[in-house]
Structure 1
Amino acid sequence: MINRILLRIKIIQILYAFYKGEEKTALTVEKELFHSIEKTYDLYFHLLNLAVLITDYADSRIEYGKNKLRPTPEELNPNTRFIDNKFVAQLRTNKQFTDYLTQRKLSWADYPEVIKELYEEILACDFFQEYMSSEKCDYQSDKDLWRKVYRKVILLNESLDNSIEDQNIFWIDDVEIVVSFIVKTIKRFSLQADDKQEFLPMFKDDEDIDFAKKLLHGVLQNGSTYRELIDQNTQNWELDRIAFMDILIMEVAISELVDFPTIPVNVTLNEYIEIAKSYSTDKSGTFINGVLDNIVRKLKEENKLIKAVVITK
């Protein structure tokens, strides 16, 4: 689940805190990196749980309507399609899911107003009304509804963002990418898997873990060398006038260029240019692109940038 795009971002964030904070050992910084990654995985399950909690809230509203002193005909005979959603029913009985929430003590109990607001937003959506009135009532439709809810309601809700920031500082920048993982997870759900449905693993494989460690330590060990290289290729700029985040992004990019011969140059450059656009200034992407192009050219001339030739069968 934690792909290399997110790993690069996490490493930059951890290094930013490292350079701006008190002195720490490399091992401590590594532990902080993987703690941050674990918290992102927590957010994955925490946000998935919203589907169950919103459904439970909807069920409570139906029961409230039925128990009124003078319920309306609609309240006595409600449309229960939403609360009978097969995807949510499957999710709530999944042992891996419930065990993870319990073990990690993940709860929305302190934020009932967020659940209520999300439910009310869902009710107001055209796609929800279409779902509730559609004659097509199957498992795929149930999954499609929640994929839309996560993309069009949960991802965009400001109150949810505020509550997430309040709950954990590691989650502030992770919501968008975690929601994309959840949408992917819902698509992968199979009715045949029943309560044994597997979730995305924290890491795809050990290679990604090794990638994160090597990239982090590459910058920690060689950061000063990379800063000199950046300085040499920004002759019209004083280093202290360049945004610190830009320098840091370039340091990590150089580390990846030098230490990972199987990753193509253009892949590395594109990844860090995109990160710069999101996490630094408006002009950072263009600036970093130009500087890194010069550095790549210089490293190639000095035979310090060797890329493996990958042969595909």
Structure 2
Amino acid sequence: MLTRRHIRVKVMQSVYAYNQSENPNIDTQEKFLLHSVDQMLDLYLLLLQLLVALQEQADSYLVLSQKKHLATVSEKNPSRTFVDNKLLKVIASNSTFNEIIKKKKLNYWELDGEYVNIILNELRRLEWYETYLTKKETTYKEDQVFV
């Protein structure tokens, strides 16, 4: 999220750069500020997209593990708590979010899927993730707190 603190930092950077430059030009600094804010928004969108990519990767992993010939009981009937996270489903199905991602061509997680795999594997090792997966049913609020 683009917070007031982020905006303040960028404004202070612009003011400092304006005061330190030999040829102060307010238009140049304004363009720099707007570009910086736009880049922060892109980073925020990428983080949201990463969460959706993690959910999609976890779903495909569950489907593959269920198709194994020698699957264990936990692989045949895995916990779908993370895959069915209500907040992530709302984000993934938001048409405005998807349009902005498509318009800005922010498909980095499709291109660099190995990073999603690495993050998902690290997430699986965490104790609080395992605790979250043990829940059979979660509320929207619990899903929101998890994210």
TM-score of the superposed pair, with normalisation by structure 2: 0.84
CA, structure 1 residues 86+3, in 2 after alignment: closer, same or farther (shift >3 Å)?
A: closer
The aligned residue for residue 5 of structure 2 is 5
The aligned residue for residue 114 of structure 1 is 115
- What secondary structure, in the 3-state scheme, does the structure 1 residue paired with 2:96 have? helix
Q: Give unmatched runs, 5+ long, in structure 1.
A: 147-313
The aligned residue for residue 100 of structure 2 is 100
CA distance in 1, matches of 2:142, 2:3: 28
* 1:73, distance to aligned residue in structure 2 (A): 2.5
The aligned residue for residue 41 of structure 2 is 41
- What secondary structure, in the 3-state scheme, does the structure 2 residue paired with 1:57 have? helix
Is 1:61 aligned with 2:61?
Answer: yes
CA distance in 2, matches of 1:42, 1:106: 8
* 1:10, distance to aligned residue in structure 2 (A): 0.7
Amino acid at match of 1:92: A
CA offsets 1:272-294 (integer angstroms, 9 cap, x no match): xxxxxxxxxxxxxxxxxxxxxxx
Higher RCO (CA < 8 A, seq sep 6+) = 2
The aligned residue for residue 239 of structure 1 is none
Amino acid at match of 1:41: L
- What secondary structure, in the 3-state scheme, does the structure 2 residue paired with 1:81 have? coil
CA offsets 1:62-103 (integer angstroms, 9 cap, x no match): 122123342222222222121111111111111111111111
The aligned residue for residue 14 of structure 1 is 14
CA, structure 1 residues 27+61, in 2 after alignment: closer, same or farther (shift >3 Å)?
A: same
* 1:16, distance to aligned residue in structure 2 (A): 5.1
CA, structure 1 residues 3+85, in 2 after alignment: closer, same or farther (shift >3 Å)?
A: closer
CA distance in 1, matches of 2:66, 2:136: 25
Amino acid at match of 2:45: F
RMSD between aligned residues: 2.3
CA offsets 1:204-236 (integer angstroms, 9 cap, x no match): xxxxxxxxxxxxxxxxxxxxxxxxxxxxxxxxx
CA, structure 1 residues 102+6, in 2 after alignment: closer, same or farther (shift >3 Å)?
A: same
After TM superposition, list the pairs within 5 Å mapping 1:71-150 onto structure 2. Answer: 71-107=71-107, 108-146=109-147
After TM superposition, list the pairs within 5 Å mapping 1:99-248 onto structure 2. Answer: 99-107=99-107, 108-146=109-147
CA distance in 2, matches of 1:95, 1:86: 16
* 1:136, distance to aligned residue in structure 2 (A): 4.8
CA, structure 1 residues 66+3, in 2 after alignment: closer, same or farther (shift >3 Å)?
A: closer
CA distance in 2, matches of 1:14, 1:78: 51
CA, structure 1 residues 3+141, in 2 after alignment: closer, same or farther (shift >3 Å)?
A: closer
* 1:111, distance to aligned residue in structure 2 (A): 2.5
Structure number with bigger Rg:
1
CA distance in 2, matches of 1:60, 1:24: 54
CA distance in 1, matches of 2:77, 2:133: 14
